[in-house]
Amino acid sequence: MNRRHFLKASLAAMPLALRSAAAETAPGDVDRLGSGFRVGANEDRYREELLIMGGRFDLKVSAKDTGGDFCLYDTTRQSKGGPALHRHHSQDEWFYIVRGDFIAQVGSVTLRLHPGDSAFAPRRIPHAFSKVGEDEGQMLIMFQPAGSMEDFFQQMARFGPSIPKDEEALMRDVCKHHGMEVVGPPLRY
């Protein structure tokens, strides 16, 4: 290959190399060179107590820690039940059962979930979960990207451990403000 063809081929390949390098650094990446952190059992990342819809939600990894990529909650539930059927317009949601028995509805599919099981609810697909076992239940819930979910949970905690019937319209407004839509009642168990 002569020198002119070699230079043309090299210049032509440069955009592909740049595109490949850009793919390795996704938008929203943050400098994660700082130190790690520990959040103890039964503790919240910021030492807050969020009692929402029959459960306690402890933030374990914040959107601030991930540049908004995701946030992770550990929730424990004493009583049966869960949130209304809803959808997130911009977040995927993932559930991992630590202990207890749950059901989850994702779209038209109902799943029985036991310790060690997980379920994935893609954005824009209606979903809900409910603790159905007699014993205490615990699950991890991750939202990706985090969006404004942390603010949502803080606002929901203002309603107290359960949503009073006269506050349902306000709760729907809080959901809407955070990119969610209530589309049905809580799951029957």
- CA 74/CA 99 separation, integer angstroms: 11
Contacts of the segment 40-49: beta carbons below 8 A, 24+ positions apart: 48/154, 48/157, 49/157
Flag residues of the chain having pLDDT under 70.
1-33, 163-167
- CA 47/CA 42 separation, integer angstroms: 10
pLDDT digits (tens, 9 = 90+) for 26-80: 445 555 557 799 999 999 999 999 998 889 999 999 999 999 999 999 999 999 9
Q: Kindly give the interhelix angle for 149-157 and 168-177, rounded to the nearest 10 degrees.
A: 160
Domains and CATH numbers, the chain: 50-182 (2.60.120.10)
pTM: 0.81
Residues 54 and 136 sit within 8 Å (Cβ to Cβ)? no
With H, G, I as helix, E, B as strand and everything else as coil, classify residue 180. strand
- CA 69/CA 40 separation, integer angstroms: 22
> How do strand 102-106 and strand 71-77 relate by DSSP bridges?
unpaired
- CA 55/CA 148 separation, integer angstroms: 20
Instruction: Report which of 163, 181, 184, 188 is spatially closest to residue 85, judged by C-alpha positions.
Output: 184
